[in-house]
Structures are given as structure tokens and as C-alpha cells.
């Protein structure tokens, strides 16, 4: 009887030791990845052209904020840039800035993604004969927060065409050539708001949830084909939109500058399938996911959700 009890104890100890060792190894791998991302990538710059098999990077919504910085910093890493946005004047200005600063080829395509399917034939023509290594699906639309019935039908289709259809259509245009050479990277800019339901920005949050869901599924489908798909969940960033929130806009840890945030994001490309960008955003995403899922979707008698007055002056972008 005693021998049987010892056998059971030894088995339990062995199983426990196995899981402890497994956890320690997993933790050490995570630490090594963080070290590699945080330090090594800054000491030894990466050759993204060689790594992803194409000289060109395509960035949508590329004349301001996040998109402009992705274009500029990918150019600094030696990639030629295709800028796609709706404002031709801003496109030309950004093209000249990147060309003078980085000495790379820059091509611009004027396209209003809110127009839907009709624009993609022109975009496809503009991308013809370009070996594209990196695609950044950044273009997005966000309006003043409010109840769903305050959103016009025109705005609903703008959300769909800009935030959702653009990701599908641009991926469809670029992915075939990446698959042909078994290399390429697709960066899909989602949002912290896409991680759980958010009242008063319900349509925007839902479209970003779509981006996250599609991006995660795409990554799984093509990870064995040499394609890197990264989902990015930014929180607050110091852009024109955030100027309406001065209590957040002036806090660097919570709202980093686009240049700092994009630099941090690019250092994780190929190492992390999902990122919030900076450490501050990673904390914000974690807190947002664990608190808002419960507080914003449960009804509490006597505590109805109300629209905040701070949103009334929010700028469109």
C-alpha cells in the first residue's frame, strides 16, 4: 500500500516539475524576445527589403499621424514608398518630404476609400510592376461619439468602406505576389476600441473588431507560407484628433508622439503577431480589455450610461 502511495506522489511531483520547467522555458523565451525586440533591433538595423522580399512598402491613409510616420520610417529603412490617401496636396507634400529626407523613390495614388469598390482598379494600376514587401492598412474613419441612431446612413457606409472594406481589398491586391515569393508583411491597424464593445462609439469599435478578427485569422491561414501578419491595437496617440482631449493629449506615457509609437511598433514586426506598440499602450490595452468588457456591457439599475460632453468638440479626421 505504501509503495502505491509513493508511486502516486512521485508521479504528481514529476507532472508538477514538467509544468514548472515548461513555464520557466516559456518565460525565458519571452524575456529573450523582449530583449531582442527592445535592444538588438536598435543596435543592428534590420534589412526589411531582404527580409520581406520587396523593395516597396504601401501605406494607406498616409498623409498624417500614424500613416505618415509608417511611410517615413519604412523609407528610413531603405524601402521605396507608395502613399495612398485622398488629399492630393498633402500627398505631394508628404512625397517631397520623404524623398528629400530618405532619398528613396516615392509614388502617390490619390484615392478616397469612402467611395468603395470603384477606387481599387486605379489603385491596382498604380501598384502594377512594384514588388511589394510591406503593406500597412492604416486608413481609418472616426466621427463624433454618440448613439447609433445619430449616425447617418452615409456615415455607416463610410465606416464600412474605409475601416473594413479597405483592409480586405488592399490585402487581396497585394497578398498574391507575397505568396508567390513566400515572403511579405501585412500590418493591420486596428484599435484598442476593437477589443470589446464600446457604447457611443459602437460602429467604430465594431469595425475595428472586424479588423482584428480578420487579421488574426489571416495570420493563421498564411503563417506557413512565409507571410507575416501583425495586428496593431493603438490607444491614444498625439494626432490632430486627440487635441480635443487635452487631459490625455499632454501625457506622453499615455499618448506618445506618432514617431515614437511607430518606431516601437516596427521594432516588433516579425516578433509579435499582436502589439499595442509602446509599453504604455500595452498596459492600456490590458486594462481596457479587463475592465470595459464588464462595465460597459452590463446594465446597472439607476446608473444609465450617458453621453459625455467632452466629445462634443471632437474633430473629424
Is 204 catalytic? The answer is: yes
Choose the catalytic residue: 204, 220, 222, 311: 204
Beta-bridge partners for 185: 134, 228
**CB of 317 closer than 8 Å to CB of 142:** yes
What is residue 241's DSSP assignment? G
Q: Which residues of 69-105 are buried (b: 16+ CB within 10 A; e: fewer)?
A: bbbbbbbbbbbbbbbbbbeeebbeebbeebeeebebb
Which three-class secondary structure state does DSSP give residue 232?
strand
Enumerate long-range contacts of 117-124, CB under 8 Å, 24 or more apart. 117/165, 117/169, 120/169, 120/173, 123/84, 123/170, 123/173, 124/173
The terminus-to-terminus CA distance of the chain in angstroms comes to 75
Q: Which three cell numbers stand for residue 24?
A: 520557466
Burial class (CB in 10 A: 0-12, 13-18, 19+), 205: buried
**CB of 161 closer than 8 Å to CB of 114:** yes
Burial class (CB in 10 A: 0-12, 13-18, 19+), 42: exposed
Q: Which three cell numbers stand for residue 180?
A: 508567390
Q: Which three cell numbers stand for residue 156?
A: 455607416
Block residue for cell numbers 490617401: 85
**Neighbour tally for 310: CB within 10 Å:** 12
Task: Tell which residue, 35, 60, 66, has the closest CA to residue 266.
Answer: 66
Catalytic positions: 204
Amino acid at each position: 500500500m505504501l509503495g502505491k502511495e509513493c508511486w502516486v506522489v512521485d508521479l504528481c511531483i514529476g507532472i508538477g516539475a514538467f509544468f514548472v520547467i515548461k513555464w520557466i522555458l516559456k518565460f525565458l523565451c519571452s524575456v529573450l524576445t523582449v530583449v531582442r525586440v527592445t535592444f538588438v533591433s536598435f543596435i543592428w538595423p534590420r534589412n526589411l527589403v531582404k527580409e520581406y522580399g520587396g523593395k516597396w512598402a504601401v501605406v494607406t491613409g498616409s498623409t498624417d499621424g500614424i500613416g505618415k510616420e509608417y511611410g517615413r520610417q519604412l523609407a528610413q529603412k531603405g524601402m521605396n514608398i507608395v502613399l495612398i490617401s485622398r488629399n492630393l496636396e498633402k500627398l505631394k507634400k508628404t512625397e517631397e518630404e520623404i524623398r528629400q529626407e530618405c532619398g528613396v523613390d516615392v509614388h502617390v495614388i490619390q484615392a478616397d476609400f469612402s467611395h468603395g469598390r470603384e477606387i481599387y482598379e486605379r489603385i491596382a494600376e498604380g501598384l502594377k510592376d512594384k514588388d511589394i514587401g510591406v503593406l500597412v492598412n492604416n486608413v481609418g474613419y472616426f466621427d463624433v461619439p454618440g448613439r447609433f441612431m445619430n449616425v447617418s446612413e452615409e456615415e455607416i457606409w463610410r465606416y464600412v468602406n474605409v475601416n473594413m472594406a479597405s483592409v480586405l481589398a488592399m490585402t487581396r491586391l497585394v497578398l498574391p505576389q507575397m505568396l508567390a515569393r513566400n515572403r511579405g508583411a501585412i500590418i493591420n491597424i486596428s484599435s484598442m476600441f476593437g477589443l470589446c464593445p464600446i457604447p457611443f462609439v459602437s460602429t467604430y469599435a465594431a469595425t475595428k473588431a472586424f479588423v482584428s478578427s480578420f487579421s488574426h485569422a489571416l495570420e493563421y491561414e498564411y503563417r506557413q507560407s512565409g507571410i507575416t501578419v501583425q495586428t496593431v491595437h493603438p490607444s491614444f496617440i498625439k494626432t490632430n484628433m486627440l487635441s480635443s482631449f487635452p487631459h490625455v493629449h499632454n501625457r506622453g506615457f499615455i499618448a506618445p508622439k506618432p514617431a515614437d509609437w511607430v518606431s516601437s511598433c516596427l521594432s516588433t514586426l516579425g516578433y509579435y503577431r499582436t502589439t499595442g506598440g509602446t509599453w504604455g499602450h500595452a498596459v492600456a490595452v490590458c486594462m481596457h480589455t479587463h475592465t470595459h468588457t464588464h462595465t460597459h456591457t452590463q446594465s446597472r439599475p439607476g446608473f444609465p450610461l450617458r453621453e459625455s460632453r467632452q466629445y462634443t468638440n471632437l474633430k473629424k479626421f
